[in-house]
Amino acid sequence: MTAKHSNRRTRRGTTIVEAAIVLPLLLTLTFAGIEYGWMMLCDQQLTNVVEQAARTAATPTSTNASVNSQITTQMTAANLGSSGYTTTYTPANVATVATGGSVTVTISIPYKNVEVTGVTLFPLPTTISSTATVVKEGL
């Protein structure tokens, strides 16, 4: 065996070992980037849904049913699911708020309902939620 042939084998073995060390790290970073990007997108979509729901709740003729209907439609359109989330109103009945009073809408969704990779090698939130407060409009 020549020294040249042995040197080629050593380089080849080194390359395989380096790849075995670096590949898991690169895959973890790739999946983390995908998951965190998706989480930020879902959070922004949830914020948009909550803001629209709060605007609806601020109208003089709004009811919990009309706000819930809008939330369901928008959550489905945003691919956040039509169920599995919780909606909270403060006060509990948006129709009873007097003109000039404030209405708060909060939506929370378990992150496991929207996760994309399912890889749990990195910290992720258990829930994502958004809140919006508006002033009730008058006639």
User: Whole-angstrom Cα distance, residue 64 to residue 53?
Assistant: 10
Edge to edge, what strands does the sheet with 86-90 contain? 86-90, 102-110, 127-135
What confidence score (pLDDT) does residue 8 get? 65
Round to whole Å and give the CA distance between 13 and 2: 17
Digit-coded pLDDT (tens) for 41-60? 999 999 999 999 999 999 99
* Reported pTM: 0.81
Q: Which regions in the chain score pLDDT beneath 70?
A: 1-10, 82
- Domain boundary assignment for the chain: 3-135
For residue 31, the model assigns a pLDDT of 87
Q: 53 and 71 in contact (C-beta within 8 Å)?
A: yes
Q: How high is the pLDDT of residue 138?
A: 79
Is residue 128 within 8 A of residue 43, CB to CB? The reply is: yes
